[in-house]
Structure 1
Amino acid sequence: MLIDDGSTDGKSSELCDEFASKDMRVKAFHIPNGGVAEARNFGIRKSSTDSDYLIFIDSDDFLISDRALESIERLLMESYADVLIYNFKEYDSKGLENKSNNFNRESIKGMTYNEVLNNLISSGRVTHLIWDKVIKRQIVIENELFFLKVERLEDSELFGRVIKYAKSYDYCEEFLYAYRKRNGSMTTEAITISKINDYQEIFNRVDIEGEEIADKLSRRNFYSYSAYPYLAALGISEFFFDKKKIKKENRKIRDFSYLLKYSDDPRVKNVSLVYRTFGKKVTTFLLKVAAKHRNFIVK
């Protein structure tokens, strides 16, 4: 499915129709611009009932291999997993660079789904992006797992809810996806009160969703996954320019610091140690530096 959400470049719309006219498997849709979440949700709702899985590809990214979908299908025909995670590379003017850690698929065979997920999180292989994952359509539709219309962390929030319902995971060792690195500095982006409120809403949801998970390891996996986006929110929120409101609004976000206790993700583990040793002020400063240099790959 190709979804043109009000493109204005004069070419994207025509290209979508051209591809659809050449291949009956391709469907093109044209909708008003409503943001990434709106376009993805439209795609979910329009996806065929004959489809078993959903995969999301951002408009400026691409699949590295012409046989990427065949590789995915081969693994899923074997495992029928609810979620499959695959490797990706980062793409910029210098070319492709490996960004995801490799992981041995054989090492998770025979584990329970919670053990597999915890193993993947502990190995740093569960990113907070949606485009390196294949998700069973039935789970998304039956549980109404649609993207929130927020300015940041929409991928993280959606997959956090997927974790609540997924009962099996698989992993593809191949590098299938190329993520196009965006230029620009975080300091040039306006961190508005609406973005801070988005963070507040997302972590309020984490609170609620987490309490609804009865199994201890399932809940730990959910919180461990949510801890990294929390670090990103802490760092990014430090760029909020209204100094009169920054302390009050950041205090709301810091109310969720309990997530740092769930430090199975190695990136969270390091920050959690700094937090316990030096406190909030030093930790948020270091997170701000990381955000400035875009060391957070999180959406």
Structure 2
Amino acid sequence: MSPKVSIIVPVYNVEKYIHRCVESLINQTLKDIEIILVDDESPDSCPSICDEYAQKDARIKVIHKKNEGLGLTRNAGLEIASGEFIAFIDSDDWVDLTMYETLYNTAKNNQCDTVYCSLQYYYSPNKIIPFKEVNEETFFQGRKEIDTFLLDMLAPLPTYHSDVKYMVSVCKAIYSRNIIRNHHLKFVSERIIASEDMVFHTQYLKLSEKIGFIPKYFYNYFQNENSITHTYTETKIERLKKFIQEMDVTFSQYFNQSEYYIRLQRKALHYLRTSLYIKYQITKSHPFIEQIKEFKELCDDEIFSKTLVDYPYHLLPLKHRLFYFFIKFKITSLLILMYKLHKV
């Protein structure tokens, strides 16, 4: 008999954190689960730690594979997952012990293809920041409601107070394996395109009939110096541009441009702003002269220039308005000053 939930855990260079993650899974109140640890050719002691856990708990399966990155590592887990629902967790994060029982029961009791919970950013025991998405148990049923949810996940309208209404992370939900298997859904490589989770959701939600959302902060999203949210690679902007292009093509197949493009603009601008923040404020990896040159190139970039042509950024919070104004009119010196003053 198939387990109720298969939990796929990509594992890479997290020997300091993997015990916390796996312990939160093996101690779930929902016992009928399958835990798939996918070692992405981790260079530390994680491969042996995974094998040790598999020897102790029959519910744990281990895959050792060549290094390919997060998206393709999740795909390796999908190939052997046998649960009624599929879940994902990053191996430096951890979850509430009641998470999967609550999500599963909500899905079964309400005939949902997917149920989401919320997450909280964990910096330290004294700094935990919850990200609020819904006030009460909420359901979206039928094409119109789910399409609106998908559009809001891409990005909210300009009048919304935040750049993010629903987090795109796949790690805070359970997904119907039937939908994934029957339609051969896979993750794209994050090494090629930014936000592989949004690409997955775009495919998955178009096939869903009912989804639920519960107001519980079950997922602990660990923030540390090695977290992907705090790292920058020189391909990040190119992957962001690829994402914008791909999402434009994909959403144009399902929606009128008037429905989705203003949201795609906000997503693009949000990702650009945060990517540059990581590069210039957290990593602080480039001297001033190089920053001036790179900002000028970004201001001249066709994709970002097009995004800013008619976006009503005057509706956004003041510091965001200033950022986009400076980008649009290529005022690079004030852009850099904003970063130095932590005002982005």
Query: TM-score of the superposition, structure 2-length normalised?
Result: 0.65
Counterpart of 1:85 in structure 2: which amino acid? Y
Aligned to 1:207: 248
Q: What is the aligned counterpart of 1:131 among 146, 171, 185?
A: 171
Is it true that 1:198 corresponds to 2:239 in the alignment? yes
Is it true that 1:289 corresponds to 2:319 in the alignment? no
Q: What is the aligned counterpart of 2:58 among 24, 28, 38?
A: 24
Map 1:155-194 → 2, pairs under 5 A: 155-183=197-225, 191-192=233-234, 194=235
Q: Contact conserved, 2:120 with 2:217, CA < 8 A, in 1? A: yes
Q: Contact conserved, 2:136 with 2:215, CA < 8 A, in 1? A: yes
- Provide closer, same or farther for how the CA distance between residues 181 and 254 of structure 1 changes in structure 2, counting only shifts above 3 A: same
Cα distance in 2, alignment partners of residues 226 and 80 from structure 1: 34
Aligned to 2:104: 73
Aligned to 1:231: 270
Q: What is the aligned counterpart of 1:45 among 79, 99, 103?
A: 79
Shift of 1:41: 1.7
- Provide closer, same or farther for how the CA distance between residues 189 and 276 of structure 1 changes in structure 2, counting only shifts above 3 A: closer
Is it true that 1:58 corresponds to 2:90 in the alignment? yes
Q: Which has the higher contact order (CA 8 A, sep 6+)?
A: 1
Cα distance in 1, alignment partners of residues 68 and 37 from structure 2: 15
- Provide closer, same or farther for how the CA distance between residues 223 and 40 of structure 1 changes in structure 2, counting only shifts above 3 A: farther
Counterpart of 1:137 in structure 2: which amino acid? R
Aligned to 1:85: 116
Size of the aligned set, in residue pairs, is 282
Shift of 1:206: 1.1
Deviations 1:236-276 (A, max 9, x none): 2585866656544551331451698599xxxx943776578
* RMSD across aligned positions (CA): 4.1
Give unmatched runs, 5+ long, in structure 2: 1-35, 281-285
DSSP 3-state at the match of 2:239: helix
Q: What is the aligned counterpart of 2:146 among 98, 110, 113?
A: 113
Q: Contact conserved, 1:148 with 1:158, CA < 8 A, in 2? A: no
- Provide closer, same or farther for how the CA distance between residues 113 and 190 of structure 1 changes in structure 2, counting only shifts above 3 A: closer
Runs of 4+ with deviation above 6 angstroms: 275-279, 292-295
Q: Contact conserved, 2:119 with 2:219, CA < 8 A, in 1? A: yes
Q: Contact conserved, 2:38 with 2:77, CA < 8 A, in 1? A: yes
Shift of 1:140: 3.1
My pick for the range that moved more, 68-77 or 194-203, is 194-203
Aligned to 2:185: 144
Q: Contact conserved, 1:235 with 1:287, CA < 8 A, in 2? A: no
Q: Contact conserved, 2:147 with 2:206, CA < 8 A, in 1? A: no
My pick for the range that moved more, 108-117 or 201-210, is 108-117
My pick for the range that moved more, 237-246 or 171-180, is 237-246
Cα distance in 2, alignment partners of residues 94 and 38 from structure 1: 32
Report percent identity of matched pairs. Answer: 20
Shift of 1:46: 2.4
